[in-house]
Amino acid sequence: MSRVMTFLGALALTASLGWAGAPMPVPAGSVPIGGTGGWDYVSVEPGSHNVYVSHQSRMHVIDPAAGKVIAEIPDIKGVHGIAFAQEFNRGFITCGGDDTLAIIDLKTFNTLSRLKMTGGKPDGVVYDPSTERIFVMNGDGENLTVVDARTQKVLGTVAVGGGPESAQPDLKGRLFVNIEDKNQVRVIDTRSLKVLDTWSLGPHKTPTGMAIDLERGRLFVGCRSGQMVVLDLATGGIVATVPIGAGVDACCFDPASRRVFASCKDGTVSVIDENSADSFSLAGVLKTEPGSKTMTLDPSTHMLFVPASGAGGFRLLEFSQAAVADLLKPGEKIASEDAVLPNFHRVDLGLAGVTLYRSASPVRALVKAGGSDLPARAGQVLVHARQLGIVTIISLEDPADAEQEGSKATGVAVERTAAQGAGIAFHSHPMHNAKLKDMTPQEIQAWLQGVEQDINASAKSGAVLVHCAAGHDRTGLVMAYLRIKVDQWPADRAIAEMRAMGHNWPKFSSNGGRSSWHEEFLKNQYPAPSQAKVNP
């Protein structure tokens, strides 16, 4: 099941312009699972894009590209949720039936060990990559169990004085936790494991689902009193409220589309537009099935996944935020799931007057599809980019990228011609990942400095887009470098953001899958976190 989003589709949903008037997500099929009984959380593993669905006493693993269940993890009593620590190839599953945390291998799906939790009814679970810690919400214990993802050992317990439901880290040392029975959010220090603050949700009751916008500093709390409450991460104050369906249990935020989603037990998903940091509006409501209160989002493919159990049996409903672009002719097929354009985001750097975006190649899907009218269709994509204010494209692609994928056309050449026709300056800083691995730190530094200088010079004329082929690795390295150089982030924080944006570190690892050579370069080249200044 291949899903394609071209640059035209992604740009139409750009963060700077919002989604005002954009179409609602559309049903994109379903994956049969089978069986009966209840379910709880559903989650996407970012590296493989596999979807994990909790169901009675087992966890189903679904490959959405293949449209089928590929594995089942049995003997998970009272299964609730899962968190992923990709760098350690581990998944952590909460088992409410026996108050344990099951630790699995993400490649073999085998259960490796179990840890006894420090409170009853472990439910929600989240991973904080900045501290390499797993946080487990123990509903009956009114506390969190904290586990070291590297050693898989319990580090401690955080008492929260109420029933914790779900949580989100800010990658800066804080964890925000819904306290369902107190109508509050606790703010936890992820290193000291102390409660830093408590934020009231006012009249809004029974907070369950939670999502976060790290870029604009907003926390989204779904309350079963029928409201999505938006909080300011700096102050804890309520910024806005938006009505949602009944029985919310999960919330997701898509940074690319700037949409918030709330799945509700009444058989709906409320879709909310983030028009600005302080303005939110209900875009519409998706129909699912009664009881379908949980949901997840793949931020790379922008697909929504909702478990359901009705006349069609237990299955995973799929919703696409962008149908196959009309630039692709009917019946055209893309060979790889990688044709989906990921990682189109605005990057807010501390550079006055610089508007910077990152993405995958704007013509990659079209080039892979081929066709005699490729130049015209690529030109149309770049015209839309120019209309959105992008005046310069900085490509990190190497012509070898196309050859490696077996493409008959060179994406760099196609894009250069299309950009010129659209009135966009096209600058090339070619780099291939295989070459990058063998370069000296001084050579990598010189390449990064060249890209930085080009961004600074080009930004005087308007918005700049930086991309590689998939928008994950070379682009991620450039953005991490800029975070360290311009925003004075410590390397660990820049790496955490790079991974959150899709960096495929296991693929480029030289140390047994612990980290990539991109990350090792950043760690070795720049000061330790304790020596670096962090901008708020």
The number of domains in the chain is 2
Mean pLDDT of the chain: 84
Of the candidates 200, 219, 253, which is a domain's last residue?
A: 200
pLDDT < 70 stretches in the chain: 1-23, 322-344, 365, 368-370, 384, 387-388, 400-410, 505-515, 527-536
Q: Which amino acid is at 494?
A: A
Identify whether 45 is part of a domain: no
Domain-located, residue 46 = no
Quote the CA–CA distance of 503 and 494 in Å, as a whole number: 12
Helix (H), strand (E) at residue 441: helix 441-458
pLDDT at 341: 40
The CATH number covering residue 120 comes to 2.130.10.10
- In three-state secondary structure terms, 400 is helix
Helices 474-485 and 517-525: angle between axes, nearest 10 degrees: 10
Enclosing domain of residue 152: 75-80+87-200
* Of the residues 200, 223, 248, the one at which a domain ends: 200
Task: List, in order, residues 6 or more apart from 45 with CB less than 8 Å away.
Answer: 51, 52, 84, 86, 91, 106
**Tokens matching residue 230:** 């938006």
Residue that finishes a domain, picked among 200, 227, 246:
200
Rg (CA), the chain: 22
28 φ, ψ to 5°? -125, 20
How far apart are alpha carbons 212 and 220 in whole angstroms?
A: 6
Q: State the DSSP string of 257-293.
A: TTEEEEEETTTEEEEEEEEETTEEEEEEEEE--TT--
Residue 524 belongs to a domain: yes
3-state SS track over 465-517: EEECCCCCCHHHHHHHHHHHHCCCCCHHHHHHHHHHCCCCCCCCECCCCCCEH
Which candidate, 504, 169, 170, 93, places its Cα nearest to that of 338?
504
d(CA 328, CA 494): 36
**10 Å Cβ neighbour count for 442?**
9
Give the model's pLDDT for residue 199: 98
- Position 104 in a domain: yes
Tell me: the pLDDT tens digits for 78-112?
999 999 998 899 999 999 999 999 999 999 999 99
pTM over 0.85: no
Domain assignment present for residue 295? The answer is no
Q: Cα–Cα distances in Å, from 250 out to 40, 55, 268, 454, 493? A: 10, 16, 12, 42, 27
CATH number at residue 392: 3.90.190.10
Instruction: Please name which of 401, 313, 395 lies closest in space to residue 359, comparing C-alpha atoms.
Output: 395
